[in-house]
Amino acid sequence: MSSLHAQLQSRNVDPELASLILTLAECGSAISTLVRGGALSGILGATESENVQGETQKKLDVIANDLIKERLSAQPLVQALASEEEDHSVDANPAGRFLVSFDPLDGSSNIDINSLVGTIFSVLPAQSGVSGEAAFMQPGRNQLAACYILYGPATVMALTTGQGTWMFTLDPQTDTFVLSDGQVQIPQQTGEFAINASNQRFWQPAMQRYIADLIAGKEGPRGRNFNMRWIAAMVGDVHRVLSRGGLFTYPQDTKNPAKPYKLRLMYEANPMAMLVEQAGGVASTGYETILDIEPEQIHQRVAVILGSKDEVETCLDYHKA
């Protein structure tokens, strides 16, 4: 069995980037311990505050955010960090080479029902002469690494440094992430899709038509049956896509005209798009490639359609009509 550290060395990952990735893994291991403790850890329930997104924070949202912020601020390689739970970016070490964006606890509505949650990280290069939030205004193509850590029956890390996507499983006996799949490949075709169907009446016509044709199954224009899956945590739905294929989407909608998009570009869409592309999949908003978007602010939201290449491209065809 090969450890995360050994894999980073064997694949000649920049030693300083590798050191940062090991710090991210340590954050994930610590949060995994808290998640496993559940009610015994005092992490369940909501706080009385809202984050910058206007969402009520769960206790573990705050705990995970503070844990990651503390550990990354102490890592000399990190110049600044940006969190979904913070109003603004946070300066760390001026001489650091890296910027880290993160969602400390994706799917936090699942915490109290003991369902899947996870942490998502994105690593960008620091920019000479650029500081504060302006330094983070880089397209996803600039990412040096992306990963998520899924807290489920097993704790699993999916990681890319631009050399494909790898999967690691946390060994609870040694507290070490061990390689479980050295070359993740998403099947090009699929019979599964994931979407929050309760928003159907608010979708754009293109997505309405696409999902209607999937649901019509063998008797519809697609001529075959599809299964729908929905975990209510992007990290869980993307993990399924990486594990066995599928299409995941959180499309544009009119439910709240002030917020037509749900997912955050820097904390969710960009890192997941990199992981999916590096595994042979496709990630788009429906109209442009996610990794090519020039961000305008750190909490920017976008539509997301990602997964198995052939099915995503079929979905995009509907958006061209």
Query: The domain spanning residue 51 has which CATH number?
Result: 3.30.540.10
Q: Which residues are annotated as a binding site?
A: 84, 103, 105-109, 196, 262, 268
Q: Which of 44-48, 254-258, 281-285 has the highest mean pLDDT?
A: 281-285
Domain end position, chosen among 129, 155, 181: 181
In the prediction, which pLDDT does 53 show? 58
**Cross-strand partners of 137:** none
The answer to whether residues 11 and 34 belong to one domain is: yes
Over residues 280-304, the mean pLDDT reads 97
The answer to whether residues 123 and 222 belong to one domain is: no
The answer to whether residues 26 and 153 belong to one domain is: yes
Q: Which domain holds residue 289?
A: 192-320
In the prediction, which pLDDT does 277 show? 98
Over residues 19-33, the mean pLDDT reads 97
The answer to whether residues 33 and 100 belong to one domain is: yes
Order of strands across the sheet that contains 192-194:
227-228, 192-194, 247-250, 304-307, 282-284
Query: Does any domain span residue 170?
Result: yes
pLDDT over threshold 70, residue 52: no
Q: Which residues are annotated as a binding site for Mg(2+)?
A: 84, 103, 105-106, 268
pLDDT in tens, 152-179: 999 999 999 999 999 999 999 999 999 9
SS (H, E, C) 177-223: EEEEECCCCCCCCCCEEECCHHHHHHECHHHHHHHHHHHHHHHCCCC
Over residues 122-147, the mean pLDDT reads 96
pLDDT over threshold 60, residue 54: no
How many separate domains does the chain show? Answer: 2
pLDDT in tens, 36-49: 877 666 666 655 45
Q: Which residues are annotated as a binding site for substrate?
A: 106-109, 196, 262
Residues 6+ apart with CB under 8 A from 301: 259, 260, 261, 262, 263, 264, 265
The answer to whether residues 177 and 211 belong to one domain is: no
pTM of the model: 0.95
